[in-house]
Amino acid sequence: MFIKRICIVLVVLLLGCEEEVDDWKKTSVAPVVPGSVVQIRVVQANNDRLPRMSPGQVQIMLASAQLTVWKNFGVYVEFTEAPEIGIDRLFALIPPPVKEVRKDSIYDFKSGNGDKRKLAEGIRATLAEHGTKFESALAFAKPYLPEGNPPTDLASFSDLLANTMLERLEAWRHINAADGAPVLDASPYNEWVYWDTLGYGNLPYDVVITNQFIASAEYYGVDIHSAIRGGVTVGTTSYNRTGKYGSYVFWSTFPFTDNSELSRRMRGDDDYSETDAAELSGAYLAHEIGHLLLQLGHPFGQKACVMNPASMLRFRQWFYQVYGAGCLIGSRPEMNLGAIPPTYNATWVRMAQQP
């Protein structure tokens, strides 16, 4: 996790500056064990500018996720009904003081005012925090990286990921919505940092399904698979201070429903029917539920593992390679229960709890 020194002005309570160094902590929430029956609270938060899945597709998606979780983790998931709220209402849950602090974590690619060196350092810090093995990470990413001198260690690998991420993120800026305006508009809804911050508010959900395209760059938390896609996030499991599992999942259906040339190329020139999109989205959602419930990591390159991220946006290829018996719980360090427990910033929690 990228740690920085921050100066916080608590305007409502006092005028002053509080400097925090490393205030990151792990939650005490234990992972769910195989054989459990659990309930997951679901909501949909949609952007009216973008295509969304139909109610029938959402039901197919959740049924696919339920089956995939059961087959691969031995956990039976019961999803609640999935009511819909506007994405603006969802973002209103972010505590304003925390949102203000988090702005410093965003690489402002829309204006071009970003620090590429800081971006690469943040990627390297995230790789180190997750205990990423250089050889496995390079093998996973190499087929999708630009040709040239291959990296030799995590530092040079991080530099290459940062450059690749920004170049491909620029390409995503040319994708338009049905109204003719860019999908990545001036709104903050595409910013991963804000989705990662929602759980510091009073978020009464475990899974948030959104049609929002989440593509951005930030100085911490960048995963390999997101970087090589150009900053595109399909889903992430992030801290939720009021959540039963210590975290929540936000899940974007946009990569499954968008039919732009760039999305198709990222999918390996694969076309999805409406049913395909829903079923594949649900199967891949099971990956995030593995983070949410069992706190599993990423066994990069282990193609039988649900927890191995999809390469680029090749979800069908990923799905056909998954084989639960070939990647049992406890078979690898990343597949141990509690391998990556939820973490949170205690300072931000205190800020969020201020009246």
Taking alpha carbons only, the member of 235, 251, 198 closest to residue 89 is 198
Q: Which pTM value belongs to this model?
A: 0.89
Q: What pLDDT, on a 0 to 100 scale, did the predictor assign at position 81? A: 94
pLDDT per residue of the chain (355 residues) written in tens, 0 to 9: 333 323 332 232 222 333 344 699 999 999 999 999 999 999 999 999 999 999 999 999 999 999 999 999 999 999 999 999 999 999 999 999 999 999 999 999 998 888 999 999 999 988 888 778 888 889 888 989 988 888 988 889 999 999 999 999 999 999 999 889 999 999 999 999 999 999 999 999 999 999 999 999 999 888 898 999 999 999 999 999 999 999 999 999 999 999 999 999 999 988 999 999 999 999 999 999 999 999 999 998 899 999 999 999 999 999 999 999 999 999 999 999 999 999 999 999 999 988 7
With b meaning 16 or more CB within 10 Å and e meaning fewer, what string describes 14-27? Answer: eeeeeebeeebeeb
**Domain locations in the chain?**
6-353
Q: What pLDDT, on a 0 to 100 scale, did the predictor assign at position 220? A: 87
Q: For every residue of 283-330, which 3-state class applies, written as one string?
A: HHHHHHHHHHHHCCCCCCCCCCCCCCCCCCCCHHHHHHHCCHHHCCCC
**Max CA-CA distance within the chain?**
58
Are 126 and 91 in contact, with CB atoms under 8 Å apart?
no
86: β partners:
46
Q: What pLDDT, on a 0 to 100 scale, did the predictor assign at position 3? A: 32
Virtual torsion, Cα 59, 65, 67, 68, nearest 10 deg:
160
Q: What pLDDT, on a 0 to 100 scale, did the predictor assign at position 134? A: 86
Report d(CA 326, CA 221) in Å as an integer.
29
Q: What pLDDT, on a 0 to 100 scale, did the predictor assign at position 189? A: 97
Are 45 and 208 in contact, with CB atoms under 8 Å apart?
yes
Instruction: Provide the pairing of β-strand 217-218 with 106-107.
Output: antiparallel
